Structure 1
Amino acid sequence: MSGSALRGGVVTMCLVMSLLATHAPALHSTVSLPWGWECVSEYRCVKKDATENEGLTTLNTCKLSCTSDGLLWPLPASSLIHGDISMFLVDNIAFEPTCHGEVCNLLQEAFAIFKDNLQRYHPAYSQGKAPWRGPWDAATLSHTLYVEVTVSGEATELELHTDESYELTVTTAGDVTTAAITAPTYFGARHGLETLSQLVDYHETADALMVVTASVTDAPVFPYRGLLLDTSRNYVSMATLERTLDGMAANKLNTLHWHITDTHSFPLVLETLPNMANYGAYSASEVYTREQIAALKEYARVRGVRLLPELDAPAHVGNGWQWGEKEGLGNLAVCVNQEPWQDFCVEPPCGQLNLANPEMYNVLSSLYHEMFNMFLPLDMFHFGGDEVNINCWNSTQEIFDWMTENHYGVDEAAYHEQWAVFQEKARELLLKASGHDDIQGILFTSGLTAPEHVESYVNKSNYIIQIWSTEDDPIIGDLLNLGYRVIFSNYDAWYLDCGMGAWVGEGNNWCSPYKGWQTVYMNNPYEIAKTQTGSTHEDLILGGEAALWTEQADDAVIDSKLWPRGAALAERLWTNPEGEWYGAETSFIHHRQRLVKRGIQAERIQPQWCHQNEGLCYM
């Protein structure tokens, strides 16, 4: 059902709460609001005057129980919310895991995150005040939530085809609610805990949590569900990276594609190659150390996310590579910071690896060894590989002489051939560094992946192709018809840096306009494939990722650029639902509120009035 899931559905009426509780004064406030909400036949929460209508509920109560999916995000493959609500306190939660070995340790950490998320639902939490002051009735004080999690498998590392499915049931008998999660892997169980946290909310007048009775069966449609974050154009702090992972966990995204380096900076600290960061970092404090990466990798793993490192080459290298000549290794990179930049690269500053210098491969080998050890275990590695500027190489005397002396020629075809030779050498160096021969490489679409080159230069058994052009680019159909596995990142829908003023020159940036959440949501890889080829190619489309290139982003704005649009991506990749975006709008707006409660500064989509008056902000 996952590929055809739809928002909404028939459910029971919102639990009838007492009129007194509905319009009782808000906690620690002298304001008395006369409003309540009713779940009407269209499965909408309608705001009404509580002095004129009986049986109204609080807003959170209505939103939690008014639809069959309970405003879960991303939409599960199958869910049923029964509408029965139980009240409890955060201290009355018991955890009962059934698991093996290290999985048990991971589950304990995931449960701590789950409990912390529930704490954050209290309005006092964001104000730094102590929540849960009561007074509470006897039923709330005595009610216990038992969270039972059973994981049958022992896998503790996320790979491309890890089973992330789970089942969740929430039932209540007397003063005990039992939430039972079963999953074949830790990662499925973690997703189940995330779903359970969304079946709980804060009851505005009772100063307690409420959980709704439910049953969920769930699994993702696409195995690869990612975000790309660039930390070279502008440095991104560890705190922001952690918040990004928190947001990914809340949306069941599973891959943080880390574009660590580029021509602008090289912030990665390497023990065997200290000059890379010495020459390439913006400052001594704007770097990533081995210890920081190890901590971030574990932070991600607990949250169901893998870090996918990228070393973009042979283009997109520059600052950080200038030290070779001083160390007797010659020029490792050419065209570094060369002017006029328009002749040598797509944006300043320029730089490409020096194909004529054998020492470049020795440095690259050392770099791969350290990167692999930092990020292991890895089943995939991103080579980047796009936007090579042939003129940069051809106008460099050392490379021009090398090409002619070896009788390679100096036309565009000759340079494509040597670019392909470089790529294969890079892959062999990575495999040697890893000690494995089954690591999948990922390449962006480029001159090497063009229809006339791809089968000669890119082995479909060794590489996955990441498509970053537009949805109507015929390269999509070409690659799929040739049997290549692909990841979608088409910039006309999934580039989150678009729609800003130009940072070079005037006007708007190159990929404008801004990609609203609706555009992100409606970008369906299967439909794109079907339009071009007549087939959805479900066996070849691994998933997709949204990209945030940071020419115009840093810690100050990354949250608002990623979220909640990243949540729109997440539902597309988790459920690939049918229907238009407006069927998901109510859930999406509510989920944005949820992210903010958890400390993620997600962009505002609508006025608060729209959240309180469902369905009335329409065109």
Structure 2
Amino acid sequence: MSRFLLLFGFALNALIGLSLANEPAWGYRCEHSNCKKVELTEENKKTAVSLSVCRLFCDEVYGTLWPKPTGEIAPSNEVVKINLHDITFKTNNFKLYPAYWAMATDRFLEMQKKKFPTKYSVKSGGNPLVIEVLVDSDDMTFNLDTYEGYKLKIVDQDGVHAIVTAKNFYGARNALESLSQLIVYDNIRNEIVIVSSTEFSDEPKFKYRAILLDTSRNYFSIEAIKRTIEGMAMVKLNTFHWHITDSQSFPMVVKSHPDLSKLGAYSPDKIYTAEDIKDVVRFAKARGIRVLPEFDAPAHVGEGWQKKGLTTCFNAQPWKDFCVEAPCGQLAVHKDELYDVLEDIYREMVENFEYPDLFHMGGDEVSVSCWNSSADLQKWMLNKNWGLTDKDFMRLWGHFQSNAISRLDKVNINKTQVILWTSHLTEEPFLSQYLNNERYIIQIWTTGDDPKVKTILEKGYKMIVSNYDALYFDCGFGAWVTDGNNWCSPYIGWQKVYDNRMENIAGNYVNQVYGAAAALWSEQVDEFALDAKLWPRASALAERLWSDPEGGWKSAESRMLVNRRRLVDIAGIAAERLQPEWCLQNEGDCPI
């Protein structure tokens, strides 16, 4: 035998061995809404289905969809092979902003390419897929009144046709997300398949579906932020709440006040320029997500403000006497020149964030003892015939809010609603006295059963929910300023997130709840721990806010495992593993 034939024989044997090793030994059949594993034999190989195909049909809804759609689904129990190289889009619109639609379609195509193993090529051939998208308007405005719903219809006729109807880009984008989840890899036949026919409508129950990421206490790269936004898009969350500054660092570059980031950033490379922010905003918009800026004040300021003379109790020690965590710092709200600086910051923020429809002014954990430590501030209050009681300091805080919001309005082309955290100021009598319920939205971070929540709602305020007993994702780890566990322990599992119903928190006032946000404060998180702390728990919040299903977490468990796997495989998100893979392959056998 020649050397060439010998080498060819070795290569052929290796390929045959690889092929045999890659052939699955198991298939699945649907029994009582569960996918049951069956050993593949020559007799059943033609009729057995892969786990991914079984999950499509063996559920009350398509078991690959997350979040669960809100409309009735016309089910199908057949799939058809499609050709990944023959997917085309047809649309009647998107002429005003073609770049965003191009980004959405390119992303869709890239997602499909990530669905089969990289060790060998998917089988060639298959039906063409034509995606026809019909929208009513080219308008890309996104606010709390924007309709995000859609209708999706799939038919197998002269190739596979998917027909999307929506009012705007955002509904169409959501439809593409669902369509992508109905396309799966069949590892028995080594092909990409899609549901042969279906039809359903879908729209979210809540308008505001968010993740908060604190990028001040620890820095997160733009790549990590984009990866988070990518995961959000996959589960139809629609708001990235960017807590971009705090007392520990000031990483946001303000061109009119460069000293803020120069003195306040952890290092010259740990900053966010105007170009960085605009890049994130546009990346998110193409995925149906607003980027909500938060400039926390009048507390939670410090680093970066050293040379301005506009703070009180900056880095005061012992810090526990002046604030809740080091370093301390609050704005010197009695100084008129402060508001000129705030106006400059607000101007650049609204420009860089492309004039967002909402603005977050923070407003949490203001310390009376911090303000009261300033003799200059005390003198100013006494000269106005105020006292130095708790009531007087709430009046001082009201003075700040009035001046700050007037400066925001000067630089913002849209008179946006302003969000504030719950605090002493959001309690009566100060709530009604200083905060107009037509202008302010209150974001709660107390427990879900706090009676103060009902008081806020009774006064007519709209609300965003971030109750720390279910939606603070930094809870349940070791303390960082003392021994033991951190203050909001224990750890919150995805099950508790999923069962955290807005109706249970707001009662009869649930129509005043815009939605909710999972918060990841970053005292003990950086981008290397980011994915596992957010995902897939944020997916649980996404389904609760999108479809608000009647069933509890147990009814969603199998789909959650599929969703977690999709986040890993398609977005490269290092999501926390919830169970052994055996549980996914033996559905229904793990839960007690």
Report how far residue 83 of structure 1 moved.
1.5
Q: SS state of the match for residue 513, structure 1?
A: coil
> Does the CA-based 8 Å contact 1:67-1:81 persist in structure 2?
no
Report how far residue 84 of structure 1 moved.
1.3
Structure 1, residues 577-611: CA drift from partner, whole Å, max 9, x if none? 10211000000111000110111111100100001
For 1:303, the equivalent position in structure 2 comes to 287
2:591 is the counterpart of 1:614? no
For 1:14, the equivalent position in structure 2 comes to none
2:538 is the counterpart of 1:555? no
User: CA, structure 1 residues 59+257, in 2 after alignment: closer, same or farther (shift >3 Å)?
Assistant: same
Give the residue type in structure 2 aligned to 1:569: L
Structure 1, residues 67-88: CA drift from partner, whole Å, max 9, x if none? 2421200000122331210112
User: Aligned match of 1:354 in 315, 321, 332?
Assistant: 332
Structure 1, residues 543-588: CA drift from partner, whole Å, max 9, x if none? 1110000001011011111110000000000011102110000001
Give the residue type in structure 2 aligned to 1:568: A
2:564 is the counterpart of 1:595? no
2:537 is the counterpart of 1:565? yes
For 1:22, the equivalent position in structure 2 comes to none
For 1:518, the equivalent position in structure 2 comes to 495
> Does the CA-based 8 Å contact 1:467-1:476 persist in structure 2?
yes
Give the residue type in structure 2 aligned to 1:84: E
Structure 1, residues 421-464: CA drift from partner, whole Å, max 9, x if none? 1011111110011144x310000001110132211111001100
For 2:6, the equivalent position in structure 1 comes to none
Give the residue type in structure 1 aligned to 2:551: G
For 2:164, the equivalent position in structure 1 comes to 181
Report how far residue 372 of structure 1 moved.
1.1
In the alignment, the residues of structure 1 paired with residue 232 and residue 145 of structure 2 have an alpha-carbon distance, to the nearest angstrom, of 18
Gaps of 5+ in 2: 1-15
Give the residue type in structure 1 aligned to 2:416: I
For 1:528, the equivalent position in structure 2 comes to 505
Q: Any residues of structure 2 matched to 1:157-556 within 5 Å, and which?
A: 157-174=141-158, 176-212=159-195, 213-324=197-308, 331-436=309-414, 438-530=415-507, 535=508, 537-556=509-528
Q: Any residues of structure 2 matched to 1:77-156 within 5 Å, and which?
A: 77-78=70-71, 79-124=73-118, 132-134=121-123, 136=124, 141-156=125-140
Give the residue type in structure 2 aligned to 1:585: E
Q: SS state of the match for residue 102, structure 1?
A: coil
For 2:67, the equivalent position in structure 1 comes to 74
Report how far residue 29 of structure 1 moved.
5.4
Report how far residue 251 of structure 1 moved.
0.7
Give the residue type in structure 1 aligned to 2:581: Q
User: Aligned match of 1:47 in 34, 37, 49?
Assistant: 37
Gaps of 5+ in 1: 1-24, 325-330
Q: SS state of the match for residue 232, structure 1?
A: coil
> Does the CA-based 8 Å contact 1:26-1:204 persist in structure 2?
no
For 1:61, the equivalent position in structure 2 comes to 53
Give the residue type in structure 1 aligned to 2:371: W
> Does the CA-based 8 Å contact 1:255-1:308 persist in structure 2?
yes
Q: SS state of the match for residue 293, structure 2?
A: strand
In the alignment, the residues of structure 1 paired with residue 490 and residue 463 of structure 2 have an alpha-carbon distance, to the nearest angstrom, of 25
User: CA, structure 1 residues 237+100, in 2 after alignment: closer, same or farther (shift >3 Å)?
Assistant: closer
Report how far residue 32 of structure 1 moved.
4.4
Q: SS state of the match for residue 319, structure 1?
A: coil
> Does the CA-based 8 Å contact 1:103-1:186 persist in structure 2?
no
Give the residue type in structure 2 aligned to 1:101: K
Moved over 6 A (4+): none
Structure 1, residues 441-488: CA drift from partner, whole Å, max 9, x if none? 000001110132211111001100001100110111111111110010
Give the residue type in structure 2 aligned to 1:189: A
> Does the CA-based 8 Å contact 2:116-2:122 persist in structure 1?
no
In the alignment, the residues of structure 2 paired with residue 132 and residue 148 of structure 1 have an alpha-carbon distance, to the nearest angstrom, of 28
> Does the CA-based 8 Å contact 2:441-2:464 persist in structure 1?
yes
In the alignment, the residues of structure 1 paired with residue 270 and residue 56 of structure 2 have an alpha-carbon distance, to the nearest angstrom, of 43
Q: Which moved more, 1:395-404 or 1:568-577?
A: 395-404
In the alignment, the residues of structure 2 paired with residue 394 and residue 61 of structure 1 have an alpha-carbon distance, to the nearest angstrom, of 65
User: TM-score, structure 1 length as denominator?
Assistant: 0.90
In the alignment, the residues of structure 2 paired with residue 101 and residue 476 of structure 1 have an alpha-carbon distance, to the nearest angstrom, of 45
Q: Which moved more, 1:228-237 or 1:401-410?
A: 401-410
Q: SS state of the match for residue 94, structure 1?
A: strand
Q: Which moved more, 1:412-421 or 1:352-361?
A: 352-361
User: CA, structure 1 residues 26+455, in 2 after alignment: closer, same or farther (shift >3 Å)?
Assistant: farther
> Does the CA-based 8 Å contact 2:24-2:187 persist in structure 1?
no
> Does the CA-based 8 Å contact 2:94-2:101 persist in structure 1?
no
User: TM-score, structure 2 length as denominator?
Assistant: 0.94
For 2:27, the equivalent position in structure 1 comes to 36
User: CA, structure 1 residues 68+112, in 2 after alignment: closer, same or farther (shift >3 Å)?
Assistant: farther
Q: SS state of the match for residue 265, structure 1?
A: coil
Give the residue type in structure 1 aligned to 2:477: M
> Does the CA-based 8 Å contact 2:355-2:412 persist in structure 1?
no
In the alignment, the residues of structure 2 paired with residue 83 and residue 27 of structure 1 have an alpha-carbon distance, to the nearest angstrom, of 32
Q: Which moved more, 1:427-436 or 1:579-588?
A: 427-436
Give the residue type in structure 1 aligned to 2:521: W
RMSD of aligned residue pairs (Cα, Å)? 1.6
> Does the CA-based 8 Å contact 2:122-2:191 persist in structure 1?
no
User: Aligned match of 1:575 in 547, 555, 558?
Assistant: 547
Report how far residue 66 of structure 1 moved.
2.0
Report how far residue 206 of structure 1 moved.
2.9
Structure 1, residues 102-161: CA drift from partner, whole Å, max 9, x if none? 34432222111111111111121xxxx6x6353x4xxxx151111111111122132111
Q: SS state of the match for residue 527, structure 2?
A: coil
User: CA, structure 1 residues 606+451, in 2 after alignment: closer, same or farther (shift >3 Å)?
Assistant: same
> Does the CA-based 8 Å contact 1:171-1:214 persist in structure 2?
yes
In the alignment, the residues of structure 2 paired with residue 471 and residue 186 of structure 1 have an alpha-carbon distance, to the nearest angstrom, of 34
In the alignment, the residues of structure 1 paired with residue 103 and residue 109 of structure 2 have an alpha-carbon distance, to the nearest angstrom, of 10
Equivalent residue pairs, number? 572
> Does the CA-based 8 Å contact 1:253-1:305 persist in structure 2?
yes
> Does the CA-based 8 Å contact 2:81-2:126 persist in structure 1?
no
Q: Which moved more, 1:26-35 or 1:487-496?
A: 26-35
> Does the CA-based 8 Å contact 1:451-1:475 persist in structure 2?
no
Identical aligned pairs, as a percentage?
43
Give the residue type in structure 1 aligned to 2:298: P
For 1:15, the equivalent position in structure 2 comes to none
Report how far residue 405 of structure 1 moved.
2.3
